[in-house]
Structure 1
Amino acid sequence: MEHNLYQNKKVFGKKIVPLIAGILFLTFTCLPRAQAQQGTEWISYNPADGPGNGKRVVLVSGDEEYRSEEALPVLGEILAKQHGFDTTVLFAIDPETGHVDPEHQTNIPGLEQLRDADLMVIFTRFRELPDEQMKYIHEYLQAGKPVVGMRTATHAFNYERNPDSPYAKYDFGSEEKGWEGGFGRQILGETWIDHHGVHGKEGTRGLIDGIKEREEHPVLQGVRDIWGPTDVYGVRELQGDPDVLVWGQSTSGMNPEAEVNLDKSIMPVAWTKEYTSEAGNRGRVFATTMGAAEDLESEDLRRLLVNACYWALQMEDDISEKSDVSMDGPYKPTMFGFGDHQKGLTPADFK
């Protein structure tokens, strides 16, 4: 018996040792590869305890002007640390240098993570992603999942290099039947129109819609004072039966104390709606033409965005009376403008 037991142990050892070795090999090869991408191609924030536990938010940056690469890490961190969401921020990456380069319009690594995302927050401008990346955004929308769009997301895509792409219909100027105005108009509610305010000279004072406030719309919970240095975008005709929550009044100057310019009409700057995918699935949408990195210095604009994420996820009952939008440490965003982004940085530098 002892001899047989000894032989059995030898046989067991011959079988289990290679198995363990294989597991260790996968652990120490595949996992480090994923960890290596996290930090060099995207960043993630581990969730603290909070209502968002169990929900994953993927935030997609990539615009040349308004510093989405700075704004979305701030929002991602707040959602994770103050509200318990598992968040990942994606960036426009120059594949030759590995640096974050919002002027590189054809590469946003990590979009495959949308497959298990519960919410996409998008802040891109004139992107033309390769089909193998764009398909993940398309699949996400076909599933009818919720979307939060910020500032230039109204003109998130621009197909000039490959107009024959199956995703060219997402172009901000699309004329394809059923996709007029592309992603902006068909999903968010409006595409790029113009600058209603004077760009670089006027800011935006947010005016809370009184009717929606009286109806106690959950996205407006605790939101009163919104101002940002970016100007009011023009809107021609919102699509999809939207509810306008905040209107934008131009200010005669780029500081919070500047008087409003009463010579200019107001425009919608934040609204909610729904979209229906080609597959017949419906999803909630919150869109705002505000949201530049500097705009996020406004506490109540950050609160509006956080509340919007809850609402988009159909978690409006979890919105507190005054959502915590505090930030760790000082926040000094780069002023908006072309060519002025921080250069030579990797995603890890934005965390």
Structure 2
Amino acid sequence: MITKNQFNSNGFKVVTLLIFTLIWSSSLALAQGDKLLLQFKGQNGAGQGKNIVLISGDDEYRSEEGLPMMAKILSEYHGFNTTVLFPINPENNQVVPNYKTNIPGMEHLEKADLVIILLRFRELPDEQMKYFDAYLKSGKPLIALRTSTHAFNYAKDNKSPYAKYHWQSTVPGWEKGFGKKILGETWVAHHGHHAVEGTRALLDGIQVSAKNPLLNGVTDIWAASDVYTINSLGKDTEVLIHGASTSGMNAEASINWKKSLMPVVWTKSYQIEGGKKGKVLASTLGASVDLLSEDLRRLIVNASYWGLDMEGDIPEKAKVDIIGDYKPSMFGFDNFRLGMKVTDFE
């Protein structure tokens, strides 16, 4: 026989369990319904009908902040349809830049006309990586920023067919991995004093004299991120901009002439086995705080036209006004904004 007190106690437990279950189920449903990528429809502009995919995935330079901002500019002012992908923790669907094994939405590369990346030390599963590999085999254009020279970092025991992308790969034909083979250089070292010296951009005189449309409207770039060491880039490379280290972390800082110049923006061709020939613009600039530079944003817009063989459509001075509120975080490890969802970057 169940007493009244036992009934009340058991009933309370059942009701509590039901409430907990409902809350958990609702939370799970919401998590499952979280947006995992951003998409902006192209407005008026020469880029209408062209699709650009921007892939953020670095744990230091806040690409999760900078690339959505650039996507808005490309869509709103230049007509490109843009899709932004993020590193996502699948347990809570939060944007976690140091979660290195998951970037949902890579299948969107199948319909991409251009891809822009800022990646660092990723080890993506084959199911995601296959889309990136197929994109490169298609010979379509690529824009690669900052740490993309060392975009991939596979464990030694990883048997993936894409382990050759590893930044220090020893696979024949893929020595030093994706960075060296596709971009022209892998990670070497900080040439500038990291977080102490910035980068003053010096346009290549030959490119300026030739009126290279990639440099239309580009005259003044200062970036907070420092100059990277470049050992060699290959014969098929054209350097557009050289970087000088500045003796301080602001645009007014003087150039440290004790340090040599290094390439910071260049173009080259690429081709992987079984694939078509493509072209890439690479830059060791591109941190979210670097993109406060109007002319750096303009260079990326120009490069988007160039990559899509639309050089004749590159404006004399492309519109690159920031849309909305953009307050980028300073670069650094583990200083990303906690608890962020993809919608927070809309």
How much has 1:329 moved relative to structure 2?
Answer: 3.0
2:238 aligned with 1:243, yes or no?
A: yes
Paired residues of 2:40 and 2:82 also in contact (CA < 8 A) = yes
2:12 aligned with 1:45, yes or no?
A: no
1:199 to 172, 194, 211: 194
Cα distance in 1 for residues equivalent to 2:289 and 2:175: 31
1:264-283 mapped onto 2 (5 Å cutoff): 264-283=259-278
Cα distance in 2 for residues equivalent to 1:107 and 1:45: 22
Paired residues of 2:69 and 2:323 also in contact (CA < 8 A) = no
Cα distance in 2 for residues equivalent to 1:39 and 1:84: 27
Cα distance in 1 for residues equivalent to 2:193 and 2:139: 36
How much has 1:330 moved relative to structure 2?
Answer: 3.5
Cα distance in 2 for residues equivalent to 1:162 and 1:38: 35
Alignment coverage as a number of residue pairs:
316
Partner of 2:220: 225
How much has 1:239 moved relative to structure 2?
Answer: 2.9
Partner of 2:302: 307
Cα distance in 2 for residues equivalent to 1:348 and 1:189: 35
% same residue? 55
Cα distance in 2 for residues equivalent to 1:161 and 1:179: 15
Matched to 2:286, the amino acid is G
How much has 1:39 moved relative to structure 2?
Answer: 6.2
Cα distance in 2 for residues equivalent to 1:41 and 1:215: 43
How much has 1:68 moved relative to structure 2?
Answer: 0.4
- SS, match of residue 196 in structure 2: coil
Paired residues of 1:240 and 1:275 also in contact (CA < 8 A) = no
How much has 1:163 moved relative to structure 2?
Answer: 2.5
1:85-164 mapped onto 2 (5 Å cutoff): 85-160=80-155, 162-164=157-159
Check 1:39–1:320 CA distance in 2 against 1; reply closer, same or farther (3 A cut). Answer: farther
Partner of 2:24: none
Paired residues of 1:143 and 1:279 also in contact (CA < 8 A) = no
Partner of 1:334: 329
2:74 aligned with 1:79, yes or no?
A: yes
- Structure 2 unaligned blocks of 5 or more: 1-30
Matched to 1:285, the amino acid is V
Cα distance in 1 for residues equivalent to 2:214 and 2:325: 26
Cα distance in 2 for residues equivalent to 1:38 and 1:213: 49
Cα distance in 1 for residues equivalent to 2:107 and 2:137: 14
Let me know the Cα RMSD of the aligned residues.
1.3
Check 1:291–1:37 CA distance in 2 against 1; reply closer, same or farther (3 A cut). Answer: farther
- SS, match of residue 42 in structure 2: coil
Cα distance in 1 for residues equivalent to 2:176 and 2:235: 13
What does the per-residue CA deviation read over 1:24-79, in whole Å, with 9 as the maximum and x for residues that have no partner? xxxxxxxxxxxx98962100111101100010000000100000000100111100
Cα distance in 1 for residues equivalent to 2:203 and 2:232: 20
Paired residues of 1:270 and 1:287 also in contact (CA < 8 A) = yes
1:344 to 328, 331, 339: 339
Check 1:189–1:37 CA distance in 2 against 1; reply closer, same or farther (3 A cut). Answer: farther
Check 1:38–1:71 CA distance in 2 against 1; reply closer, same or farther (3 A cut). Answer: farther
Moved beyond 2 Å, runs of 4+: 36-39
1:249-268 mapped onto 2 (5 Å cutoff): 249-268=244-263
1:213 to 196, 202, 208: 208
- SS, match of residue 250 in structure 1: strand
Cα distance in 2 for residues equivalent to 1:180 and 1:340: 32
How much has 1:161 moved relative to structure 2?
Answer: 6.3
Paired residues of 2:34 and 2:93 also in contact (CA < 8 A) = no
How much has 1:280 moved relative to structure 2?
Answer: 4.0
Paired residues of 1:38 and 1:44 also in contact (CA < 8 A) = no
- SS, match of residue 317 in structure 1: helix
How much has 1:276 moved relative to structure 2?
Answer: 1.4
Cα distance in 2 for residues equivalent to 1:199 and 1:134: 31
How much has 1:240 moved relative to structure 2?
Answer: 5.3
2:286 aligned with 1:320, yes or no?
A: no
How much has 1:113 moved relative to structure 2?
Answer: 0.4
Check 1:245–1:39 CA distance in 2 against 1; reply closer, same or farther (3 A cut). Answer: farther
Matched to 2:100, the amino acid is Q
Matched to 1:321, the amino acid is E
Partner of 1:168: 163
Partner of 1:20: none
- SS, match of residue 268 in structure 1: strand
How much has 1:284 moved relative to structure 2?
Answer: 1.2
How much has 1:97 moved relative to structure 2?
Answer: 1.3
How much has 1:209 moved relative to structure 2?
Answer: 0.4
Cα distance in 2 for residues equivalent to 1:289 and 1:42: 25
